[in-house]
Amino acid sequence: MGLYKQKHESGHLKKQINVNFGEVEVNGKNACGLCRFLRKKSRLRGMLIGWNFGKFLLDREGYIVDYYGPTQEPLELEEKIIDLLSKR
């Protein structure tokens, strides 16, 4: 795991964590348990996760908020993430 700081456009520093979990299967009979659970309980309703970089957004309690496909840029979710983090 690597931790590094990057200067944001607004001038403040932000921390970013780079974590490598290794390769896991996300679809099919050998899919990891977490991936099977997320596929089943999200709006995918068991359908396959599309290509690389599909994203599941969870709240503080671990409930699935939504699934975003590989074409959705992570920065497009920033407002939703901030909103979820502000809720207690």
Q: How many CB atoms lie within 10 A of CB 66?
A: 13
How many domains does the chain fold into?
Answer: 1
**pLDDT of 6 over the 80 cut:** no
CATH number at residue 11: 3.40.30.10
**Domain range holding 49?**
2-86
How far apart (Å, rounded) are the C-alpha atoms in residues 71 and 32? 23
User: DSSP of 63-81, one letter per residue?
Assistant: -EEEEE-TTS-GGGGHHHH
Residue 53 pLDDT: 84
Residue 52 is encoded by which pair of tokens?
């690389």
The model's pLDDT over 15-73, given as tens digits with 9 standing for 90+, comes to: 555 667 678 889 999 999 999 999 999 999 999 998 778 899 999 888 999 999 999 99
